[in-house]
Every structure is written in C-alpha cells, then in structure tokens.
Copies of this chain bind each other. A is one copy, B any other.
Amino acid sequence: MKSPEENILDKAQLLFSQKGFSGTSVRDIANEAGVNISMISYYFGGKNGLLTALVKSRLEIMKSHLGDLVENKKLTPQEKIELLIEKWVEKFWEYRLLNNFILRENNFELMDELNELITEVKMSRYNNFRLIILEGQKEGSFKKDLNIPLLYGTLSGFLKHLYFSEDFYCQLLEIEENKDQALLNQMKIYLKSLYKYIINE
C-alpha cells in the first residue's frame, strides 16, 4: 500500500512528464491521485515544493548507482563499458518519465536548488563514464584521442532521444510485440557494438 505522498509523487511524475510542469495543474494531480486539492500544499508546501520533492526523491536514487562499477578491480575497462551501457539503458528506462520531464524543463526558474541538484547528478554520471575511459586509455586498450565529453553526450543523447521518441523508433525497427523489452535489447546490442568500434584501439 502506497502512502498518499508517494502516490501523489507518482501521479505528478506521470503528468509532469506528459504535459510539462506549467501544463499540469494541481487539480489534475489531485484528481489523478484521488486526494483533495489542498493536500498538495499540505504535504509539499505547494506546486513548486511538489516538484522539488519529486526531483529530489528520484535523483537521490539515481545518483548512487555506478560508483562501485568504476572501482571494481576484477573487470576490464571494456567489460565495464559494456556493463555501464547495460545498466544505463535500464536505469534510464526506469526513470524515463523523470528524465523526459527534466529534459523538457531545461531550467527551473527561481528554483536554483533543483538546478544545482540536477547539474550535480549529471556531473556525477559523466565522471563515472570518464573514469572508465581514462582507465582503458592508461591500460592501453582504448584509443588515446577520444573526445570523452562528446562520447558521453552520444550515449546520453541517444538514450533520452530513444525513450522520448519510443513509438517512432519502434515503428522504424518494426517492433510490434513486447515493445519495451525488445527496444531495450536492440539498444543494448547497438550501443555495445557502437562503443566497441569507436573506443577500442
């Protein structure tokens, strides 16, 4: 049984993701969550507070997921990249609603706290990626002249774009059944092969 707060956060995430922050009214959220309108102010201190709580609660989880992968001593850099791709494809999928939403609203006016938090998470993700590449370069298996930021942007942009335009790409890929899983699998295979070609010496 979900708590009313958690329920509101879930519905808010869905609606924000579908219609944007400004396009979603607290009435919509309250109706969808089956609670009184005033509960949003009651629980979260208002619409802005709801947004902050939503982003914070979800980002908190996303932040701490790959640190152990980077520091793992038993895996080669190549294996790490493949595992990172696996995990990201799945993590991004799991949080695609939030990601799409954060992507939409490229800056939250007057909510610097949120902007900082988002930048922090983005930077943390980038650094995990970067450390693995650097390790591979030092160890000799990766090319020396890689543009790491743009390499990261390729992955990040690809994931966001695919999840955002899921239907369009399922159509192009002629995926008709079990859409989600099939798309994810194709993406994993494609990305691994992509990075193998680009990165490896």
A: residues with CB less than 8 A from B are 18-23, 100, 103-107, 109, 119, 122, 126, 147, 149-150, 152-154, 156-162, 164-165, 168-169, 172-173, 186-187, 190, 194, 197-198
Contact = CB atoms under 8 A, between A and B. Distances in A.
A25 to B, nearest CB: 10
Given A19-B22, A164-B106, A153 B158 contact: yes
A21 B107 CA distance: 14
Copies held by the complex: 4
Contact of A158 (B23, B103, B157): B157
Nearest to A105: B20
A165 to B, nearest CB: 8
B150 A169 contact: yes
A147 B104 contact: no
Contacts of A156: 161
B23 A168 contact: no
Nearest to A189: B147
Nearest to A23: B22
20 contacts: A19-B109, A20-B23, A20-B104, A20-B105, A22-B23, A104-B104, A104-B106, A106-B165, A147-B190, A150-B190, A153-B161, A153-B165, A154-B158, A154-B194, A157-B157, A157-B158, A157-B159, A160-B161, A194-B198, A197-B197
Contacts of A159: 157
Contact of A22 (B20, B158, B160, B198): B20
Contacts of A21: 20, 23
Contacts of A165: 106, 122, 153
Contacts of A173: 147, 149-150
A157 B162 contact: yes
Contacts of A106: 100, 104, 164-165
